[in-house]
Structure 1
């Protein structure tokens, strides 16, 4: 079965979210392209907010899946 490549902007957001919900620093952003970096930072901010709201671990993953389904 052929796999479709995911949108790099969506992937950057998801990776940023995962770092944010884990409480990692925003300085760990691996991207240098300004557009992709901005999506990563947006995801990181959402993840940090969820982390502060107590959504850690599996709860954060469920939240990410919900955002993905809506967006």
Structure 2
């Protein structure tokens, strides 16, 4: 993958339980509240970042969820 390349992934390829977790566990910078929900999710990955962008279910403001993979070492 090129350093500046951003791939759009199909969010709906994730298992249903993961989809529901990502859609529910959000933070909205406009509402300043947690877990308001996300609609219209779009998933992206680059060489050093993986994230989901959607709209706050309450106010419609853009919300971003960073996906962090932790090493089990």
Structure-2-length-normalised TM-score = 0.29
Higher helix share: 1
Higher strand share: 2
Structure-1-length-normalised TM-score = 0.29
Which of 1 and 2 has greater Rg?
Answer: 2
Q: Greater relative contact order (Cα 8 A, min sep 6): structure 1 or 2? A: 1
